[in-house]
Amino acid sequence: MNDIAFNRLLVVLRHGPHGSSWLREGLEVALVGAALGQDVSLLFYGEGVTALLKEQQVGPLAQKGTQPMLEMLPMYDIESLWVDAEALATYDLTLDELVVPAKEVGRHEVSDLFQRHRLVLNF
């Protein structure tokens, strides 16, 4: 945990890519923050870890998918990505199955992660 910089904005994503607009609207905040020059970190927490699964499709609801937004993160210099280790285990996932590189964080370390950010927004 000590290698993270004192990033200013942490966006916590707690919803999967389908079923609601929470993930999309959370990612939009992250991209806007980065476009405004903030250092942005993302924490994929609980169900939010499923946002990172590869090969997602748009689906029959014809809403824009969130995977293209995730692929844009490096272009916005959003490289501090954290995933909830417990949720990864719950969904039986490993880091190499994720669409972008991310680091695991234990639930007991989450409060520490929050404290290292000036602004935390929860979606």
Partner 1 sequence: MRYALLVQGSPYSNQASHSALRFSHGLIARGHQLATVFFYHDGVYNAARLALPPQDEPHLVDEWRELHVRQSTELLVCIASGLRRGIVDEQEASRHGKTGHSLEAPFELTGLGQLIDAGLTHDRLVTFAP
User: Binding residues for partner 1, per CB under 8 A?
Assistant: 8-9, 21-22, 25, 28-29, 32-33, 36, 38, 118-119, 121-123
- Angstrom distance (rounded) from CA 114 to CA 99: 24
* Shortest Cβ 119–partner 1 spacing (Å): 4
Report the C-alpha dihedral over residues 92, 90, 95, 37, rounded to 10 degrees: 150
* Shortest Cβ 6–partner 1 spacing (Å): 14
Q: Which is nearer to partner 1, 2 or 111 (CB)?
A: 111
* Shortest Cβ 38–partner 1 spacing (Å): 6
- Angstrom distance (rounded) from CA 94 to CA 85: 9
Q: Which is nearer to partner 1, 90 or 122 (CB)?
A: 122
**Do residues 88 and 48 lie in contact, with contact meaning Cβ atoms separated by under 8 Å?**
no
Q: Which is nearer to partner 1, 29 or 85 (CB)?
A: 29
* Shortest Cβ 115–partner 1 spacing (Å): 15
- Angstrom distance (rounded) from CA 29 to CA 9: 10
| Residue at token pair 């880091």 | 95
Q: What residue type is assigned to position 57 of the chain?
A: Q
Q: Which is nearer to partner 1, 22 or 44 (CB)?
A: 22
